[in-house]
Amino acid sequence: MSSRRSRQSGTSRITDDQIIDLVSKLRQLVPEIRNRRSDKVPASKVLQETCNYIRNLHREVDDLSERLSQLLATIDAESAEASIIRSLITQ
């Protein structure tokens, strides 16, 4: 038991109120949860949906980056369009 205490003493602890506040903020950010009529979504479901949402966003970014790269490969490298695409990729 003392080893557990010593590990916790070196770290800052988050309070239940802080957890509730953070879960509430996630509820507002994740469309799948925000669009539900019920406010009674368990915290575990909020966390699960948040992870799914982040995974989907990563996939979308990867897909869009790939599409931009393909588009860039098909146009003149010195054109205005190529310059715009390069600026989008590097942002």
Residue ranges of domains in the chain = 16-90
Return the H-helix or E-strand segment holding 2.
Answer: helix 2-9
Burial class (CB in 10 A: 0-12, 13-18, 19+), 30: buried
The Cα angle at residue 66 between residues 63 and 69, in degrees rounded to 5: 150
The per-residue DSSP string of 3-38 comes to HHHHHHHTSPPPPHHHHHHHHHHHHHH-HHHHT-S-
pLDDT at residue 38, rounded to an integer: 73
Using the predicted structure, report yes or no on whether residue 47 has a pLDDT greater than 90. Answer: yes
Phi and psi angles of residue 18, each rounded to the nearest 5 degrees, phi first: -65, -40
Which two three-digit tokens encode residue 20? 């509730």
pLDDT per residue over 9-44, tens digit each?
Answer: 557 899 999 999 999 999 999 998 988 877 788 999
Instruction: Work out the average pLDDT over 34-55.
Output: 90
